[in-house]
């Protein structure tokens, strides 16, 4: 068996490829909105928030506002959230729109399947229009594990399976069809979204930044790897470690195995969705870009219907994700403006995932 030291001798040191301006330049940010988020699959929600015909929710995918709507036949469809009259956003937030989506600006109405079905004052003001050519623009929608993904390209559906890759095999044996959203917290951060993602896949910081908060896991015994676009990790609770484990502060999800209860998985769904499974709940913490130097951590917890995230679990989560990782990323954001800022040697194994992430990113950005 190869030891970590043998591998370190033979492996090449990974290279940090992004320049400092990738973390603050508005032009970089605009390119990412169009060429990365606009050309890949984006997590936008969960089926549990969109069950009845007419239930809808909105999201911003790169530069594209989208709306996802439950159809009368039970399927999901997604559209650009743009009225075909003057381009106004037709739906806000989430809710149930009844039989149609109605634009509040001049009253045009679109059926749940996107067809234009009513134009006020049509006879006098719009006698010549071809309503059949003025339906909402489609986007692609796919679901895995209850999570809803959107690709702005209406012809992208066939690419979903390849994009998903072997992600499902690395997410543990959870009752995906039965879990629902049980809590949501949004945390604004003053850092570029990529710093938070790089922090998530940086194995080296676990021993230091989280020396107390994650000491119950044996980081040296863990497995982690980049596979296709995504990244996977799994580590187990230390033997005999009894305090502050997920199970000690919250009920497990029914049906999750004993092994899985001792395993913390912390994956990355490329490009911006860390996802953790810990036996007691499934958690996504999507890093939503809100500007060149800001982002929002959208933390969503999933569990059995009716489950409650205990106060201890919530506090522990915010300590790690906001007070430790978030603060570190905000400090990195400040440092990166220094005229003398430069990235030194990366750890041969434990920071390699960052180089893999850059390589994946650059396939979109050229
Ligand atoms: S922009 Fe929607 S009806 Fe005019
Ligand atoms: Fe961390």
pLDDT digits (tens, 9 = 90+) for 63-94: 999 999 999 999 999 999 999 999 999 999 99
Q: How far is CA 304 from CA 134, 168, 211, 253, 321, in A?
A: 42, 19, 31, 6, 23
Q: What is the DSSP string of 202-250?
A: -SGGGGTTTTTTTTTB-GGG-EEEEETTEEEEEEEBPTT--TT-HHHHS
* 330-346: average pLDDT: 97
Report the pLDDT value the prediction gives residue 250, as an integer from 0 to 100.
Answer: 85
Closest Cα partner for 292 from 3, 32, 19? 32
* 271-289: average pLDDT: 96
- Both 239 and 348 in one domain: the answer is yes
CA of 23 to the centre of ligand 2 (A): 19
Q: Does residue 43 surpass a pLDDT of 70? A: yes
Report the pLDDT value the prediction gives residue 13, as an integer from 0 to 100.
Answer: 96
Q: How far is CA 198 from CA 190, 287, 332, in A?
A: 15, 11, 11
CA of 131 to the centre of ligand 1 (A): 14
Our answer on whether the CB atom of 108 is closer than 6 Å to any ligand 1 atom is: yes
Helix, strand, or coil (residue 318):
helix
pLDDT confidence bin for 241, thresholds 50/70/90: low
Angle (CA) 104 58 86, round 5° = 40
159-163, 218-222, 228-232, 245-249: least confidently modelled range:
245-249
Strand partners, 57: 68, 94
- Both 272 and 169 in one domain: the answer is yes
DSSP 81: S
Our answer on whether the CB atom of 118 is closer than 6 Å to any ligand 1 atom is: no
Report the pLDDT value the prediction gives residue 95, as an integer from 0 to 100.
Answer: 98
- Ligand found nearest the CA of 322: 2
Share of the chain above pLDDT 90, in %: 90
Domain final position from 147, 163, 179: 163
In a domain, 28, yes or no: no
In a domain, 33, yes or no: no
pLDDT confidence bin for 3, thresholds 50/70/90: very low
Our answer on whether the CB atom of 86 is closer than 6 Å to any ligand 1 atom is: yes
293 close to 333: Cβ distance less than 8 angstroms: yes
Report the pLDDT value the prediction gives residue 245, as an integer from 0 to 100.
Answer: 63
Dihedral pair phi/psi, residue 208, rounded to 5°? -115, -60
Q: Does residue 163 surpass a pLDDT of 50? A: yes
CATH number at residue 84: 2.102.10.10
Domain final position from 131, 163, 195: 163
Q: Does residue 273 surpass a pLDDT of 60? A: yes
80 close to 60: Cβ distance less than 8 angstroms: no
Q: Which domain holds residue 291?
A: 4-16+165-365
- In angstroms, rounded to a whole number, what is the distance separating the alpha carbons of residues 76 and 148? 9
Q: Which atom of ligand 1 is nearest to the CA of 108?
A: 3
The pTM is what? 0.94
Our answer on whether the CB atom of 220 is closer than 6 Å to any ligand 1 atom is: no
CA end-to-end distance (rounded Å), the chain:
38
- In angstroms, rounded to a whole number, what is the distance separating the alpha carbons of residues 167 and 245? 25
Q: Which atom of ligand 1 is nearest to the CA of 84?
A: 2
Q: Does residue 2 surpass a pLDDT of 60? A: no
Q: Does residue 251 surpass a pLDDT of 90? A: no
8-17, 299-308, 322-331: least confidently modelled range:
8-17
In a domain, 116, yes or no: yes
For the record, the structure tokens of 253 come out as 């999800």
CA of 327 to the centre of ligand 2 (A): 10
- Both 61 and 173 in one domain: the answer is no
Q: Does residue 170 surpass a pLDDT of 90? A: yes
89 close to 80: Cβ distance less than 8 angstroms: no
Domain final position from 163, 189, 215: 163
- Residue bearing the CA closest to ligand 1, atom 3: 106
CA of 300 to the centre of ligand 2 (A): 17
Our answer on whether the CB atom of 85 is closer than 6 Å to any ligand 1 atom is: yes
- In angstroms, rounded to a whole number, what is the distance separating the alpha carbons of residues 44 and 236? 30
For the record, the structure tokens of 204 come out as 């080296």
Our answer on whether the CB atom of 83 is closer than 6 Å to any ligand 1 atom is: yes
Q: Does residue 269 surpass a pLDDT of 80? A: yes
Our answer on whether the CB atom of 89 is closer than 6 Å to any ligand 1 atom is: no
In a domain, 144, yes or no: yes
- Both 125 and 206 in one domain: the answer is no
- Both 154 and 233 in one domain: the answer is no
Query: Average pLDDT of the chain?
Result: 94
């Amino acid at each position: 068996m190869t030891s970590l030291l043998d591998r370190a001798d033979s492996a090449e040191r990974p290279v940090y490829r992004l320049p400092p301006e990738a973390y603050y330049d508005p032009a970089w940010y605009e390119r990412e909105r169009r060429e990365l988020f606009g050309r890949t699959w984006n997590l936008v929600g969960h089926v549990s928030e969109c069950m009845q015909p007419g239930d809808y929710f909105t999201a911003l995918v790169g530069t594209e506002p989208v709306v996802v709507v439950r159809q009368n036949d039970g399927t999901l469809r997604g559209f650009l959230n743009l009225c075909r009259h003057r381009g106004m956003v037709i739906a806000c937030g989430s809710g149930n729109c009844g039989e149609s989506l109605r634009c509040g600006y001049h009253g045009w109405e679109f059926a749940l399947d996107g067809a234009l079905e009513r134009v006020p004052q049509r006879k006098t003001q719009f006698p010549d229009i071809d309503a059949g050519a003025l339906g909402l623009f489609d986007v692609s929608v796919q679901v895995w594990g209850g999570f809803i993904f959107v690709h702005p390209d209406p012809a992208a559906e066939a690419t979903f399976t390849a994009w998903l890759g072997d992600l499902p095999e690395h997410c543990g044996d959870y009752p995906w069809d039965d879990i629902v959203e049980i809590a949501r917290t949004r945390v604004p951060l003053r850092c570029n979204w990529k710093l938070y993602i790089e922090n998530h896949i940086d194995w080296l910081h676990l021993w230091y930044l989280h020396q107390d908060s994650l000491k119950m896991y044996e980081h040296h015994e863990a497995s982690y790897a980049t596979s296709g676009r995504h990244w996977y990790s799994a580590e187990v609770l230390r033997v005999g470690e009894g305090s502050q484990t997920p199970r000690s502060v919250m009920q497990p999800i029914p049906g999750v195995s004993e092994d899985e209860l001792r395993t913390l998985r912390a994956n990355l769904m490329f490009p911006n969705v860390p996802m953790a499974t810990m036996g007691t709940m499934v958690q996504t913490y999507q890093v939503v870009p809100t500007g060149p130097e800001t982002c929002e951590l959208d933390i969503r917890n999933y569990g059995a219907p009716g489950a409650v995230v205990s106060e201890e679990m919530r506090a522990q989560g915010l300590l790690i994700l906001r007070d430790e990782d978030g603060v570190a990323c905000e400090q990195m954001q400040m440092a990166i403006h220094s005229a003398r800022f430069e990235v030194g040697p990366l750890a041969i194994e434990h920071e390699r995932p960052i180089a893999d992430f850059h390589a994946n990113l650059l396939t979109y950005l050229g």
